[in-house]
């Protein structure tokens, strides 16, 4: 095991990008700790490689994160790469979206990543050569869209965390990489649609179809396949000097355009795309 990089990946249930990260790292002769919440641990035990081990980990729980990290350190002595992939969607108009839903999204998408960082960094800092932390953001962390404001804000927080960590961890030789996916096909859309089931909007009841369309927007059409996306990211992360940002996937060029275009261009596009020009 001494010649293999030890990689910890969160959010690895089958059908998601994390599952594909695990396969891609394992194919590069890394030893992967594939983690997810205890309720979904059976979804990752069938990863077809001797280089993958399943481990229960809930990114929202201090005790769970601490226990998992200590287990890995006690068995393997170090963690070379942390991939903060775990995340959930949160769809709905901000004026009506329940604060409980907003808190959950932020707890998983943002604080969940920082919780892992705080547990893993002391071990990386103590080793010559440090390590690599990979935080998964989103194109909507840079350019937020209607009907997904909470999710977009949680990913914007990840971007801010990551840019800060990159400089703060420089003295310890720890690389910090921000992954910025575009539209990548995974189980995120189905999970977001399931959460919308049974919700009755008040002010926005006439926009129900548009809200549902936003929930599955990244999963249709020419969305990048998760396997292709994961292999691209892993190849970059394993470089001796990994890039600070990895931007990849369908629609990344469009969102790059929106990031510097006048706001009226962005607003006009999204209002038309998500039916917000329609007065009810």
Residues with catalytic annotation? 151, 155
Neighbours of 10 (CB within 10 A): 28
H-state helical runs in the chain: 17-27, 62-76, 99-106, 112-125, 149-168, 188-196, 208-215, 226-237, 252-260, 263-273
Q: Are 236 and 243 in contact (CB under 8 A)?
A: yes
The distance between the two most distant Cα atoms of the chain, rounded to a whole number of Å, is: 64
Which SS3 state, helix, strand or coil, does residue 144 take? coil
Whole-angstrom distance, CA of residue 195 vs CA of residue 173: 41
CA–CA separation, 98 and 228 (whole Å): 35
What are the beta bridge partners of residue 102?
none
In order of 19, 80, 124, 248, the CA distances from 230 in angstroms are: 9, 18, 24, 10
d(CA 173, CA 168): 10
CA atoms of 155 and 106, how far apart (whole Å): 9
Asked if 180 and 141 touch (Cβ cutoff 8 Å), the reply is: yes
């Amino acid at each position: 095991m001494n010649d293999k990089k030890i990689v910890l990946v969160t959010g690895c249930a089958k059908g998601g990008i994390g599952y594909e990260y695990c396969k891609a790292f394992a194919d590069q002769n890394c030893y992967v700790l594939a983690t997810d919440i205890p309720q979904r641990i059976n979804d990752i035990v069938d990863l077809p490689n001797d280089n993958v081990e399943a481990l229960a980990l809930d990114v929202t729980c201090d005790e769970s994160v601490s226990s998992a990290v200590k287990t890995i350190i006690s068995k393997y002595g170090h963690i070379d790469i942390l991939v903060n992939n775990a995340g959930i969607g949160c769809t709905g108009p901000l004026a009506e979206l329940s604060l409980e839903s907003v808190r959950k999204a932020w707890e998983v998408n943002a604080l969940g990543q920082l919780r892992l960082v705080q547990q893993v960094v002391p071990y990386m800092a103590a080793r010559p050569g440090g390590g690599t932390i990979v935080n998964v953001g989103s194109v909507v962390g840079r350019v937020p869209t209607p009907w997904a404001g909470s999710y977009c804000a949680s990913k914007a927080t990840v971007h801010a965390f990551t840019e800060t960590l990159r400089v703060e961890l420089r003295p310890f030789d720890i690389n910090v990489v921000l992954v910025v996916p575009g539209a990548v096909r995974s189980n995120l859309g189905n999970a977001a649609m399931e959460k919308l089931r049974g919700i009755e909007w008040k002010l926005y009841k006439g926009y129900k179809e548009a809200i549902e369309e936003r929930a599955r927007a990244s999963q249709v059409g020419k969305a990048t396949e998760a396997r292709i996306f994961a292999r691209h990211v892993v190849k970059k992360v394993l470089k001796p000097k990994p890039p600070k940002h990895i931007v990849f996937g369908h629609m990344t060029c469009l969102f790059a355009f929106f990031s510097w275009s006048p706001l009226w261009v962005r607003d006009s596009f999204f209002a038309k795309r998500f039916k917000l020009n329609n007065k009810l």
